[in-house]
């Protein structure tokens, strides 16, 4: 089955208002910027986003966030995104912050058909006990707080029950893809991309390189998890940003 589509606009054409999306990337690394921009151009809103963070430096998901297109975010941290923090504290957006490893496993579990799992992360905190602010009132009081979760003891240690995550769509960026949807990710850009793709009922990948067939031994994510592939242009491939540029001075 050839899963390649002609453009990013075609790939996201059935993403409607209120859809939920799992989005790969970490900061600005491995972010599916082209697909995100296609969603912006389509004009959809009230989106539910599951991603490690919500973009930075006015790029990635920050494009949709700044336009008021996102209604809810499930993620690990707010980071340097001041607009994200402003919307959250002003009660304009609902935010569920969860431990990073838990987020990764909730996405993976969703993709493998596991409805829930127990983890020690968060036991004895508001993650398990409930009460984390999901949404604020404009006056700063809590409008919606997280519920308490089931805690169970195994071999003398307590664990909290976390439910898996499934979304309507997933947007990811790959270094290489073939026409069957098999994907390869580059180094640290592998981060949340495979997990996000697994969690989406319809996973869409933008690929820096498109080949006919990838050697099975090289595949990072099998094509069974991917429904659509968009090949990027050379200009889109080279359009990358560094959130924090660090250099090392070498003494002569």
CATH number, domain with residue 42: 3.40.1080.10
Number of domains in the chain: 1
Helix (H, G, I), strand (E, B) or coil at 84: helix
Q: Which of 16-25, 55-64, 66-75, 140-149 has the lowest mean pLDDT?
A: 55-64
Q: Domain for residue 247, yes or no?
A: no
pLDDT value of residue 251: 77
Contact 163, 127 (CB under 8 A): no
Q: How confident is the model at residue 127 (pLDDT cuts 50, 70, 90)?
A: very high
In a domain, 123, yes or no: no
Residues 6+ apart with CB under 8 A from 198: 107, 108, 110, 111, 112, 170, 221, 225
pLDDT tens digits along 47-57 = 999 999 998 77
In a domain? residue 120: no
Q: Is the pTM of this model over 0.95?
A: no
Q: Is residue 135 part of a domain?
A: no
- Rounded average pLDDT over 118-127: 96
Average pLDDT, integer, range 189-213:
96
Among 59-68, 83-92, 95-104, 232-241, which is the least confidently predicted range?
232-241
Distance CA 20, CA 230 (A): 20
Report the Cα 12 to chain-centroid distance in Å.
16
Give domain status of residue 223, yes or no: yes
- Average pLDDT, whole number, for the chain? 94
Mean pLDDT of 135-149: 96
Of 27 and 112, the structure prediction assigns the larger pLDDT to 112
Give the pLDDT of residue 80.
80
- Is the residue at 199 inside a domain? yes
Q: Does 121 map to a domain?
A: no
Rounded-to-integer distance, Cα 137 and Cα 153, Å: 36
List of residues 6+ apart from 5 with CB closer than 8 A: 11, 228, 229, 230
pLDDT of residue 31: 94
**Domain range for residue 54?**
4-115+164-238
CA nearest to 146, candidates 155, 156, 157, 133: 133
Which H, E and C letters describe 43-83, residue by residue?
Answer: CCCCEEEECCCCCECCECCHHHHHCCCEEEEEECCCCCCHH
Q: Which residue has the tokens 């359009």?
A: 239
Question: Over 90: is that where the pLDDT of 241 sits?
Answer: no
Taking residues 211-227, report their average pLDDT: 97
């Amino acid at each position: 089955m050839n899963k390649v589509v002609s453009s990013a606009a075609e790939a996201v054409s059935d993403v409607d208002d209120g859809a939920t999306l799992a989005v790969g990337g970490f900061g600005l690394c491995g972010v599916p910027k082209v697909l995100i921009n296609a969603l912006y151009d389509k004009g959809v809103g009230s989106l539910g986003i599951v991603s490690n963070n919500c973009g930075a430096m006015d790029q990635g998901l920050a494009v949709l966030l700044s336009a008021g297109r996102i209604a809810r975010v499930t993620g690990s941290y707010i980071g340097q995104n001041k607009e994200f923090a402003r919307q959250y504290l002003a009660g304009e957006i609902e935010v569920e912050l969860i431990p990073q490893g838990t987020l990764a496993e909730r996405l993976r579990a969703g993709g493998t058909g596991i409805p829930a799992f127990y983890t020690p992360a968060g036991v004895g905190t508001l993650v398990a006990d409930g009460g984390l602010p999901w949404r604020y009132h404009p006056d700063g009081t809590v409008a919606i707080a997280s519920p308490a979760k089931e805690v169970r003891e195994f071999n003398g240690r307590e664990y909290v029950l976390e439910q898996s995550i499934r979304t309507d769509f997933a947007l990811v960026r790959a270094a290489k893809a073939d026409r069957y949807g098999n994907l390869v990710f580059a180094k640290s850009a592998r981060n949340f991309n495979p997990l996000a793709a697994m969690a989406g009922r319809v996973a869409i990948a933008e690929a820096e390189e498109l080949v006919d067939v990838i050697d099975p031994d090289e595949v990072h994510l099998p094509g069974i998890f991917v429904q659509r592939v968009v090949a990027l242009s050379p200009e889109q491939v080279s359009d990358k940003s560094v959130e924090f540029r660090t250099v090392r001075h070498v003494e002569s």
